[in-house]
């Protein structure tokens, strides 16, 4: 289980929470929270982290949260650091798959995952070719998200991950339902959720 941080201001409390509950930690500057105090983590900040994230590009949030150029700049900085430190990344991408693929291709191979992936299926191949896996959250169970369901059905088993997307996208208690839903959709058992 992994808890990602989103802003320099909360990295220390996220770290304390993870230490208290023996949960894996990731830290990053999330595109929703790019105020003046936002910054990319340093190698020192990332001590003890198993990944760098949540980081990414979010087109609808760009205008109100620091602007598109700032999103791109911080993403680049953080992707380069992840490659340097050989850490996987947790990527948040909304209406920005073209530019994200461009950034990842520029760097070559990056390990990590796309969080709360909602398709479309055509993205499975380019992202997986670059070293990314796909984490599906409770949003995929909501009505009217056909491209999310199609992607969940088509995603290769070894690239498939699940998340609660808590607190914004769901609750940890929804995870067993999500795994059961995915198993039924795919017609195969895709894992069990260990009680925590
Ligand atoms: Zn996100």
CA of 166 to the centre of ligand 1 (A): 10
Mean pLDDT of 121-127: 98
What six digits make up the tokens of 141?
Answer: 């169970």
State the pLDDT at residue 188. 95
Mean pLDDT of 152-181: 92
- Residue whose pair of structure tokens reads 């491209």 in the numeric block: 147
CA of 185 to the centre of ligand 1 (A): 24
Mean pLDDT of 160-165: 94
State the pLDDT at residue 125. 98
- Residue whose pair of structure tokens reads 């479309």 in the numeric block: 120
- Residue whose pair of structure tokens reads 């208690």 in the numeric block: 173
Mean pLDDT of 155-181: 91
CA of 184 to the centre of ligand 1 (A): 26
Q: Rounded to whole angstroms, how far apart are CA atoms 120 and 94?
A: 12
Percent of the chain scoring above 70 in pLDDT: 98
State the pLDDT at residue 23. 93
CA of 93 to the centre of ligand 1 (A): 7
CA of 53 to the centre of ligand 1 (A): 9
CA of 154 to the centre of ligand 1 (A): 22
CA of 56 to the centre of ligand 1 (A): 8
pLDDT tens digits, one per residue of 59-76: 999 998 889 999 999 999
CA of 51 to the centre of ligand 1 (A): 15
Select from 81, 16, 13, 12 the least CA-distant residue to 52: 81
CATH fold, domain 2-186, is: TIM Barrel (3.20.20)
CA of 55 to the centre of ligand 1 (A): 8
Rounded to two decimals, the pTM is 0.94
Residue 196 above 60 pLDDT? no
pLDDT tens digits, one per residue of 8-59: 999 999 999 999 999 999 999 999 999 889 999 999 999 999 999 999 999 9
State the pLDDT at residue 195. 61
pLDDT tens digits, one per residue of 73-119: 999 999 999 999 999 999 999 999 999 999 999 998 799 999 999 99
Q: Rounded to whole angstroms, how far apart are CA atoms 69 and 15?
A: 29
Mean pLDDT of 125-132: 96
CA of 68 to the centre of ligand 1 (A): 16
Q: For residue 97, what are the contacts with CB-CB under 8 A and spacing of at least 6?
A: 123
């Amino acid at each position: 289980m992994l808890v990602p941080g989103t802003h320099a201001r909360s990295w220390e409390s996220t770290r304390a929470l993870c230490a208290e509950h023996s949960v894996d930690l990731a830290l990053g500057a999330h595109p929703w929270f790019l105020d003046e105090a936002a910054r990319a983590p340093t190698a020192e900040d990332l001590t003890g982290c198993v990944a760098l994230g949540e980081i990414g590009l979010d087109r609808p949030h760009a205008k109100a949260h620091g602007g598109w150029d700032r999103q791109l700049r911080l993403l680049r900085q953080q992707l380069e650091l992840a490659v340097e430190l050989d850490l996987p990344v947790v990527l948040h991408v909304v209406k920005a798959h073209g530019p994200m693929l461009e950034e990842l291709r520029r760097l070559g191979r990056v390990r990590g995952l796309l969080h709360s992936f909602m398709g479309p299926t055509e993205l499975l191949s380019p992202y997986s070719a670059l070293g990314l896996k796909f984490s599906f959250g409770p949003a995929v169970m909501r009505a009217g998200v056909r491209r999310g369901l199609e992607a969940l059905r088509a995603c290769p088993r070894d690239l498939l991950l699940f998340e609660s997307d808590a607190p914004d996208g769901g609750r940890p208690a929804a995870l067993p339902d999500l795994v059961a839903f995915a198993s039924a959709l795919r017609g195969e058992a895709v894992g069990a959720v260990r009680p925590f």
